[in-house]
Structure 1
Amino acid sequence: MKKKQWQGWGPGEQAEQHYLVEPRALAGGGDIRHVSEFLRACGWRDRSKPGGPLLMDSLDRSIRIAYDPFVHPGGWTIHGKATAHQEEWTAILGRQAPVEIVAGLTDALTRPRSAHAPNVWAPLQEQRWHTPPGAGHVTAVSPDGLAWMQFHQDPGGHAMWWSGAQDQQGNGWTAQFTATTPMHLVQSYAAALASPEPVMRPRGRVPHSARIRTTSVSVLPSQLSAWKQARVTAARAATSARNSWKTNRPRTTAHPHAQRGVRAHR
């Protein structure tokens, strides 16, 4: 079938074949710049060495994100230091965890917490995930049976979140979160895991799996760049807005003369 050219194609620009892959959980790792460029736009510090693994720190250095493909099994490690209001925590995701799902967690690190109490299971229930009989632990499984989310607690009282995706051919990945991982981060991860939206992969980067469904699309390099830039631009705008609010927010502390006035009436 002959393909039609899209409106706005520039002279000499050639379309490239990509695939929309679903379910997203089995789409393979993808381009880690989907995660790292967003964090840079939010002001995170890139500590990576040339040719080495990705290493990024939050502005206050309380959180470190690393991606190392050079060790076995390799993958993502996200570590939060203990603070006055938060215990130390760690999240580990396998190398084949799609970057769009990893970003569900890492993007949330750049945003203020919601005033609503987090609920890890809510986004899964919205996508009709179910609890299999006899699971033994609090577990939710995707409708196709390929992905899962579990709160695992052993008899000794040690607890963790365990998640991932796998097909019958052994393709897949796992993720572990310490029980101290902030719940709103685990919820954001769960929402990205359960999202029904497909993800895009270039030709030659789609895993071989009988459970994957693909749709072929022709995309211009300029379109790919524009989509990536839109994500970075949104991150910069949100960060700038938050910094501006912090700088210009009204003062809530009492003036010295007001404090003296209070003491005078005692």
Structure 2
Amino acid sequence: MKKKQWQGWSPGGEQAEQHYLVEPRALAGGGDLRHVSEFLRASGWRDASTPGGPLLMESPDRAVRISYDPYVQPGGWTIHGKTSGQQDEWWATLGRQTPVEIVAGLTDALTHPRSAHAPNVWEPLQEQHWNAGPKAGHYTATSPDGSAWMQFHQDPSGHAMWWSGARDGQGNGWTASFSATTPMHLVQAFSASLASPEPVMRPRGRVPHSTAIRTTSVSVLPSQLSAWQQARITAARAATWARNSVRNNRPRTTARPHTHAGGARARR
């Protein structure tokens, strides 16, 4: 394990706390759920959670629901999208030890407009030199260290889905499944976050016991953590405000109804 002094401001009397940068990120453990939920809330999503119950977030148009339930087995994240327009119903499930930063790759994308470019799930993996090709009859991409994978899976009955996950030699890890109808730009957003080489931060006592991870010890001030978290929330609010402003200022394309000359006036 490497040690490093994290640089930043130091208000008087503030005590630095020990954290760890963990890589590969896929084996860093679950993390703080607020990394996902606070961004969604700042993006206009409704928190429908009940006191003492699982986390439940609902999109502004009520077309998508995201829940995290640690009280059932196997527990974890469930994302469900309703049938809407040309989009069929879809779902995704992610195990409870899926790092929140990887979950956020998918859930953050739900708040963004779709790109005009055709999505490619494999591209982010290839850019990070994942090994891709047929494996046991399914097309699979595996991380260079072999700890994480992404697979397009099709069973004998013809049912297709995306399957992903990470595992070390001691059995620690998680899996994620996506329906074949899950929008491809969301699966690509997930794969990009999964393959990212950037480490993720975990506080002392929340680092998994695994010989497959590398850690760097850093000293972090509480004010630094708060500022980083607030920057993410502020970015979500700014993006939401910009989208709403464009939508509200968009010129109408349909003619307004009007009365013919000499017609009766509407009462006030």
TM-score using structure 2 length: 0.92
Structure 2 residue 220 is matched with structure 1 residue 231: no
SS in 1 for 2:158: coil
**Structure 2: stretches of 5+ with no match in the other structure:** 259-268
Task: Give the Cα separation in 1 of the matches to 2:14 and 2:6.
Answer: 11
Task: Give the Cα separation in 2 of the matches to 1:60 and 1:247.
Answer: 16
Which segment is superposed worse, 239-248 or 5-14? 5-14
**Structure 1: stretches of 5+ with no match in the other structure:** 258-266
2:77 maps to what in 1?
A: 76
The structural deviation recorded for 1:250 is: 2.8
1:150 maps to what in 2?
A: 151
Structure 1 segments of 4 or more deviating over 4 A? 2-7, 254-257
The structural deviation recorded for 1:72 is: 1.2
Amino acid at match of 1:36: S
Q: Percent identity?
A: 79
Amino acid at match of 1:237: A
1:160 maps to what in 2?
A: 161
**Structure 1 103/212 Cα, relative in aligned 2: closer, same or farther at 3 Å?**
same
Task: Give the Cα separation in 2 of the matches to 1:97 and 1:5.
Answer: 26
| Residues 27, 167 of structure 2: 8 Å contact kept | yes
| Residues 162, 176 of structure 1: 8 Å contact kept | yes
The structural deviation recorded for 1:253 is: 3.7
Q: Note the 1:55-66 alignment, pairs <5 A.
A: 55-66=56-67
Task: Give the Cα separation in 2 of the matches to 1:93 and 1:43.
Answer: 23
Structure 2 residue 207 is matched with structure 1 residue 206: yes
Q: 1:210-263 deviations in whole A, cap 9, x for unaligned?
A: 010000000000000000000000000000000000001233346779xxxxxx
| Residues 15, 221 of structure 2: 8 Å contact kept | yes
SS in 1 for 2:94: strand
Which segment is superposed worse, 90-99 or 3-12? 3-12
The structural deviation recorded for 1:191 is: 0.1
Task: Give the Cα separation in 1 of the matches to 2:133 and 2:68.
Answer: 33
Task: Give the Cα separation in 2 of the matches to 1:249 and 1:141.
Answer: 45
Amino acid at match of 2:121: V
**Structure 1 249/210 Cα, relative in aligned 2: closer, same or farther at 3 Å?**
same
Structure 2 residue 112 is matched with structure 1 residue 104: no
1:87 maps to what in 2?
A: 88
2:265 maps to what in 1?
A: none
Amino acid at match of 2:69: D
Amino acid at match of 1:102: V
TM-score using structure 1 length: 0.92
The structural deviation recorded for 1:135 is: 3.4
**Structure 1 69/5 Cα, relative in aligned 2: closer, same or farther at 3 Å?**
closer
Task: Give the Cα separation in 2 of the matches to 1:146 and 1:234.
Answer: 32
Quote the RMSD (CA, aligned, Å): 1.7
Task: Give the Cα separation in 2 of the matches to 1:175 and 1:35.
Answer: 16
| Residues 113, 184 of structure 1: 8 Å contact kept | yes
| Residues 97, 173 of structure 2: 8 Å contact kept | yes
Q: Note the 1:28-39 alignment, pairs <5 A.
A: 28-39=29-40
2:188 maps to what in 1?
A: 187
1:197 maps to what in 2?
A: 198
Task: Give the Cα separation in 1 of the matches to 2:14 and 2:256.
Answer: 63
The structural deviation recorded for 1:85 is: 1.6
Structure 2 residue 130 is matched with structure 1 residue 136: no
2:13 maps to what in 1?
A: 12
Amino acid at match of 2:176: A
| Residues 132, 141 of structure 1: 8 Å contact kept | no
The structural deviation recorded for 1:11 is: 1.2
SS in 2 for 1:131: strand
Task: Give the Cα separation in 2 of the matches to 1:6 and 1:119.
Answer: 37
Amino acid at match of 2:74: P
**Structure 1 5/211 Cα, relative in aligned 2: closer, same or farther at 3 Å?**
closer
| Residues 64, 80 of structure 1: 8 Å contact kept | yes
**Structure 1 197/249 Cα, relative in aligned 2: closer, same or farther at 3 Å?**
same
The structural deviation recorded for 1:5 is: 8.7
